[in-house]
A and B are shown apart, each in its own frame.
Chain A
Amino acid sequence: MSEASSSSEKKTWRSNGGTRGWFGRQPGWLRAVVLLVVAVLAYLLPYTAEVPLIGPQIVTQGIDWPSALFNMSYYVLLALGLNVVVGFAGLLDLGYVGFFAVGAYTVALLTSPDSLLHTKWAWAAAVPVALAIAMLSGLLLGWPTLRLRGDYLAIVTLGFAEIIRISATSSETLRGDRGFADIPHPPGSGSDGKPIFGVADATPYFWLGLSVIIVVIFAVRNLDRSRVGRSWLAIREDEEAAEIMGVRTIKFKLWAFAIGAFIGGLGGVMFAGEQGFMNSNSFVLQFSILVLAGVVMGGSGNVAGAILGGALISYIPDRLRGIEDPIFHTDLFGFRFAIFGLVIIAIMIFRPQGLIPSRRRAMELKDREREVAPIE
């Protein structure tokens, strides 16, 4: 009897939407408090090592924990941006690292003493310019590719990223693998006169990244629930039908590209500001694929999923750093892409909707599963 009741209880819990359904039914103030607590906990992440027992297991060994957190923060940003393009609008973009590179390179060109421009701006002054250019590059990529369908689009975006990488490697202005040194850090100094954003400690960068992420989350969620988001959804599910129903597909596809590029550029400027040095090796193509894997792994089309996926693709390799493997005696970090390859396949086979799926997407998948013709 107890078994039956527990299973029916489980069923109601599920049919009421599980944790997220419960969360959605709570009054506004309670939701705000829960979100605030989560945010505060996120800001306290650099002190994870202080937590007894679990803390030391979580922190990374081969790389200091605040730096690992900062890496996570810009991966999460990229995942959020790519989620807009792939998850919301359903446009498969394999060259997302291109926008990241555009943002980072614009900052480097405007600020670094190595640059031909000799402008030597401050970091903060270069940021708006870099973001504007990243957004423009999104439109520039979006405009000629609007007519292309899914797979063609994928390969053209891949090509776009390759062109940017090749330009970075071989053009004199972008300095190839000699790169740009002495890119200034973000401004601000503490009460003792020392700059907040120094070289030694990455914690402030993480906090900066986290703050940017929170702003982006709000912006993206609001967009998704607005008219723009509904248009993206319509385009994703059936572009022709959307067009017939009066959705201006060209306009909204361009918006998706531009907003995605903007967020990617944001990741780029933060990366440039923290690293201080960058060259063409920072933007390999595998990087875009990794971010895409993160979005899909977390749950394409869902903001929380994108955050989780973005954090995981950065955290898992960093956690593997400094651990030696028993067979080849190399750093496990070298295996990171290989391991990811397997993880991606496993997730797509066993949980294709992702770790935290978008509910609408999960239903779409279920629908498709029912449609399978029994002929194999």
Chain B
Amino acid sequence: MNFSGLIHDFGPLTITGLAQGAIIALFALGYTLVYGVLRLINFAHSEVFLMGTYVCLLVWGLFGLDQNSATPSTIAVIGLLLLGMVVAIVASGATALAVELVAYRPLRKRNAPPLAFLITAIGASLFLSETVGVMTKRNITGVPPLIRPRDVFVIGNMHVTNLQILIIVLALVMMYVLDRFINRSRLGRGIRAVAQNPDSAALMGVNKSRVISLVFLLGGLMAGIAAVMYDLKIGVTRFDAGFLLGIEAFTAAVLGGIGNLRGALLGGLLLGVLQNYAAGLFGTQWLHAASFVLLVLILLVRPTGLLGESLGRARA
């Protein structure tokens, strides 16, 4: 137990935690959206994210960039970032749709028990991550240094870098856009209707299958953005990157109240920060264990998460 260390490093731990938490929050949205509508854990969402991290690197690689190349000029960086984000979004969205089509739709037609969905999801997840693992020989892949972390402002010993600001701001903006979309647009109303009661929604003329595809797509888009942020922040990716971060993202979704969009944001940020404090207190190797202990504690005290489940109906 290292209390003085925690107090001394409180600022830096908070800001790095927030940046990590923002990525987790974007990632967690995929779990929360799908859970809100279908009541199932989309276990393969971690691989949706993984595809984003790799495809974005692949495209940057086409421009001759690898982890050893120099940082390009500012305009080139902006262009590359936008391009990387677009391809990552496309890749993640396409993966999410493909998973839905192959692993979930046939089961849904047959009204299979919930366990069956979870198992096909595990199957899809294993297949995708292991295929990437075999193709990359299970090595880590470096990311070109598009953004060199540079201090923007300093408070005490808390150095806030440009990258951290970018990640946090982008996450907040995406959250806002998504929230508006779900709560204001026509398609969003369809999603909320299906989440509330799928059968009534279908009777009212909502195309259930299309809504479900849309939900997977939205989760994939958010995961794609999270993937690019992850690439930039961590600097390497690996075939099991999605799996490890996915467990955390799911924890965050449950923490905030699964099915609740704002809950995912709160859960993600909170988890990122708390993880860092725990790491400061007990040592970095306990970082992941801390998030699980936290999850168990929260579920014991408040099983519906901090903000409750709001996208769908109240649990019967």
Contact surface of A with B, Cβ cutoff 8 Å: 86, 90, 92, 144-145, 147-148, 150-152, 154-156, 158-160, 162-163, 166-167, 169-170, 285-286, 289, 292-293, 296, 300, 328, 330, 334-338, 340-345, 348-349, 352, 364-365, 368-369, 371-373, 375-376
Contact = CB atoms under 8 A, between A and B. Distances in A.
Given A148-B303, A155-B251, A162-B289, A352 B110 contact: yes
Interface stretch (B127-135, B216-224, B265-273): B127-135
Given A151-B41, A376-B109, A341 B299 contact: no
Given A151-B40, A154-B41, A155-B41, A341 B123 contact: yes
B296 A159 contact: yes
Contact of B118 (A147, A148, A151): A151
Contact of A170 (B109, B116, B285, B303): B285
Interface in B169-213: 199, 202-203, 208-209
Contacts of B116: 348, 352
B125 interface: yes
A368 B112 contact: yes
A218 B42 CA distance: 37
A369 B111 contact: yes
B247 interface: yes
B250 interface: yes
Given A163-B292, A285-B243, 6 more contacts: A150-B114, A158-B247, A159-B292, A292-B119, A335-B134, A352-B116
B122 A293 contact: yes
Contacts of B300: 144, 147
A296 B119 contact: yes
B118 A154 contact: yes
B264 to A, nearest CB: 15
B127 to A, nearest CB: 3
B120 interface: yes
Contacts of B292: 156, 159-160, 162-163
18 contacts: A148-B303, A152-B303, A163-B293, A166-B286, A166-B288, A300-B115, A334-B134, A341-B123, A345-B103, A348-B112, A352-B116, A364-B113, A365-B112, A368-B113, A373-B202, A375-B202, A376-B108, A376-B109
B216 to A, nearest CB: 16
Contact of A372 (B110, B122, B126): B110
Contact of B126 (A340, A348, A364, A376): A340
A345 B102 contact: yes
A169 B130 CA distance: 22
Interface string B92-113: 0000000000110011111111
A92 to B, nearest CB: 6
Given A151-B114, A349-B107, A373-B199, A341 B286 contact: no
A292 B120 CA distance: 12
B258 to A, nearest CB: 8
B213 to A, nearest CB: 12
Contact of B254 (A152, A330, A365): A152
B124 interface: yes
Contacts, number: 150
B24 interface: no
B299 A286 contact: no
B295 interface: yes
Nearest to B243: A285
Nearest to B294: A159
Contacts of B203: 375
The 10 A-B residue pairs with the shortest CB-CB distance, nearest first, are A341-B127, A344-B123, A159-B292, A341-B126, A170-B285, A338-B130, A337-B130, A345-B123, A372-B111, A375-B202
Contact of A159 (B102, B202, B247): B247
B111 A348 contact: no
B126 A338 contact: yes
Nearest to A147: B303
Interface string B129-163: 11101110100000000000000000000000000
Nearest to B35: A151
Contacts of B102: 345
A150 B129 CA distance: 25
A375 B208 contact: yes
B251 A342 contact: no
A308 to B, nearest CB: 17
Nearest to A335: B134
Given A159-B247, A166-B286, A375 B199 contact: yes
Most buried by A among B111, B243, B286, B300: B111
Interface in B264-309: 283, 285-286, 288-289, 292-293, 295-296, 299-300, 303
B115 A92 contact: yes
A289 B130 contact: no
Interface in B231-259: 243, 247, 250-251, 254
A344 B289 contact: no
B240 to A, nearest CB: 9
A224 to B, nearest CB: 19
Contacts of B119: 292-293, 296, 344, 348
Contacts of A293: 119, 122-123
Contact of B130 (A151, A155, A166, A335): A335
A341 B124 contact: yes
